[in-house]
A and B are shown apart, each in its own frame.
Chain A
């Protein structure tokens, strides 16, 4: 079985400060890991993925994430947050031998001006 935990329901930061959204996962094999962002009444937009290779992956809108196998984590980061980054963020995992992507419960990010 595969699962994702996002331990924080909400993250609040000031504009210009670093943003971190935490994610830990559980999967039997080597994971495929993804981050998505969702704005109100919209579908999910893909931000970045880790499949293999360099543990630090860069994605859209200045976001990056670091894969840490020993801690089974895949935290999302942005060095300088913008008000427009305020949204709902989902971490997701897929076992390469499975079809489905399993999502965490989401973290609401609020960036204040």
Chain B
């Protein structure tokens, strides 16, 4: 169990640019989540995958956000035309079964200037 891995750890980008983050879940976990966390707040749900199927998307996820999990293993989260309000920590998590806890990566901190 090597844990959930996220890359990059930090990303600074200019407003209007596109960014892509990667998440590698724990290998036997077929359920994968993306959350967003801003300073002083708890994580907010963005989207959920079971294997390669994206089963739920939050209304927080505007059309500028897209997530994929093409082979049911790693996942990517892309933000197009970034805005300053997108600055946050983006957390990926995975879990094995219906009663299992989420295991989180260390996150990608995005700063939009």
Residues of A within 8 A of B (CB): 4, 32, 34, 36, 41-46, 49, 51, 90, 92, 96, 99-106
Contacts and interface: CB of A to CB of B under 8 A. Distances in A.
A105 B40 contact: yes
Given A100-B48, A106-B41, 8 more contacts: A36-B104, A41-B106, A45-B104, A46-B101, A49-B101, A99-B50, A99-B56, A105-B42
A101 B91 CA distance: 13
Contact of A43 (B44, B48, B56, B91): B91
A61 B107 CA distance: 23
Size bin of chain B's contact surface: 20 to 34
B72 to A, nearest CB: 16
B98 interface: yes
B42 A104 contact: yes
Contacts of A90: 42-43
Contacts of B6: 43
A105 B45 contact: no
Nearest to A34: B101
A106 B37 CA distance: 11
A105 B109 contact: no
Contacts of B31: 99
Contacts of A103: 42-44
28 contacts: A4-B42, A41-B109, A42-B106, A42-B107, A43-B6, A43-B91, A43-B93, A43-B104, A43-B106, A43-B107, A44-B43, A44-B91, A44-B93, A45-B104, A46-B101, A46-B103, A51-B99, A92-B42, A96-B98, A100-B33, A100-B45, A100-B48, A101-B33, A101-B45, A103-B42, A103-B44, A105-B40, A106-B41
B4 interface: yes
Nearest to B100: A49
B105 interface: yes
B19 interface: no
Nearest to B42: A103
Interface in B19-61: 31, 33, 40-45, 48, 50, 55-56
A43 B6 CA distance: 10
